[in-house]
Homo-oligomer: A and B are copies of this chain.
Amino acid sequence: MSDDSTTAPPDDPEQSTAVVPETTRQIVIREVPQGQLEATHFALQEVPVPSLGEGELLVETLAITIGAGQRAGLQGSAGYAGPAEADVVMTGTGVGRVLVSNHDSIEAGAVVMGLTGWTEHAVLNGKRATVVDGAVAPATLLGALGTNGLTAYFGLLDVGQPQSGETVVVSAAGGSVGHIVGQIAKLRGATVVGVAGSDEKCASLIDDLGFDRAVNYKSDDFRAAFKAATPDRIDVYFDNTGGDILGSALFRMNAHGRIVCCGVVSQYDTSTPGPGPRGVPGLLVNNRVRMQGFLVFDYADRFAEARAEISNWLASGELIARTTEFDGLDAAPHAFVDLLAGRTVGTTVVNLAS
């Protein structure tokens, strides 16, 4: 927890006398991991709160979210965000309350979402911060209405393009993106099969979230169970894992099927990723399969439209947003390790403010 506090209540955006602390706590990458990530790869430090430049905001972080894809960002030069470096603040999306604003249209007291990183106070460029509804729980803002929900929405609907009656399979189905993908696919009339890492997760996907079937990829007879769970084969495979699950899906695709390449969590927590799946490109040709990678940021001009539809689904109860929450900045490295080990469900959120 931060050892300072703001006196600005959420309903008083005119307040501009917030107490700005002199220092803040943040988590830096102590060492770029070479093998499996451990909490000791990170270190906590206390630093002076930086002064604000033109157009910038000082934000007290309320909550941050951690995604498996961030592990890819620690793999050196392979990630889309560039190489990982030691001694920099760990990056990530968060929700925070504006303490001081040097931006024309964002006032102190507003709640914003942006790349806060793992820090109790962040300086954000106002142009890159999105003002959000402070009455909505940060976990929802960061999950179903944040990058995870938007990734599920655009990846499934725009890239995967499922049709009513088709079979949609999603891997890491209990995860931050996967559990939303499956539910949106159901809303579009698809038969939905989830792949997850435990029998408990599989049961919950069916019982709580309405998936038609679910398969535990850690079971001994995974391939046979996967085949049995896809009697009409697969029209859309939403891939969050790569690796063996992708390999199995490739052999079950229907003609003109679509594979949505969203993440590669099976290959993140290592410095020696495995070979690509056998059957690429041969099976893509034989079955006329389209395999397409995407990044949600490319859909930024349609985020508002997607958030409106997701909000309606949440309000009506048609979409259930799952989160696993941790408390306090110190818990962030452990949360990240738990996430990569498959011990979290839904969106992983670390709450910073009490």
**Interface residues in chain A, defined as those with a beta carbon under 8 Å from any beta carbon in chain B:** 72, 78-80, 239, 242, 246, 259, 261-264, 267, 273, 275-295, 298
Question: B298, A288: Cβ atoms under 8 Å?
Answer: yes
Contact among B79, B273, B283, B290 with A290 in the assembled complex (CB-CB below 8 Å) = B290
Q: Could you pull out 25 A-B pairs where Cβ atoms are within 8 angstroms?
A: A72-B282, A78-B282, A78-B286, A80-B285, A80-B287, A242-B282, A246-B281, A259-B281, A261-B284, A261-B285, A264-B282, A273-B278, A273-B282, A276-B276, A276-B278, A276-B280, A277-B280, A280-B291, A281-B291, A284-B293, A288-B295, A289-B292, A290-B291, A290-B293, A291-B292
Question: B281, A293: Cβ atoms under 8 Å?
Answer: yes
Point out the residues of chain B lying under 8 angstroms from A279, CB to CB.
Answer: 276
Point out the residues of chain B lying under 8 angstroms from A298, CB to CB.
Answer: 288
Point out the residues of chain B lying under 8 angstroms from A286, CB to CB.
Answer: 78-80, 293, 295
Question: A276, B273: Cβ atoms under 8 Å?
Answer: no
Alpha-carbon distance between A238 and B200 when the two chains are bound, in angstroms:
44
Alpha-carbon distance between A283 and B273 when the two chains are bound, in angstroms:
12
Alpha-carbon distance between A279 and B80 when the two chains are bound, in angstroms:
13
Closest Cβ of chain B to A262, distance in Å, is: 7
Closest Cβ of chain B to A278, distance in Å, is: 5
Of listed A264, A276, A281, residue having the most chain B CB within 10 A: A281
Question: B284, A292: Cβ atoms under 8 Å?
Answer: yes
Alpha-carbon distance between A332 and B298 when the two chains are bound, in angstroms:
51
Contact among B242, B277, B281 with A261 in the assembled complex (CB-CB below 8 Å) = B281
Closest Cβ of chain B to A150, distance in Å, is: 15
Q: Known contacts A264-B285, A289-B293, A290-B290; can you find 5 more A-B pairs with CB under 8 A? A: A78-B282, A276-B280, A285-B293, A288-B293, A290-B292
* Chain B residue nearest to A294 in the complex (CB): B288
Closest Cβ of chain B to A227, distance in Å, is: 15
* Cβ-closest 6 pairs across A and B: A276-B276, A284-B293, A275-B275, A285-B293, A276-B280, A261-B281
Closest Cβ of chain B to A155, distance in Å, is: 10
Alpha-carbon distance between A262 and B288 when the two chains are bound, in angstroms:
10
Question: B246, A267: Cβ atoms under 8 Å?
Answer: no
Alpha-carbon distance between A78 and B285 when the two chains are bound, in angstroms:
11
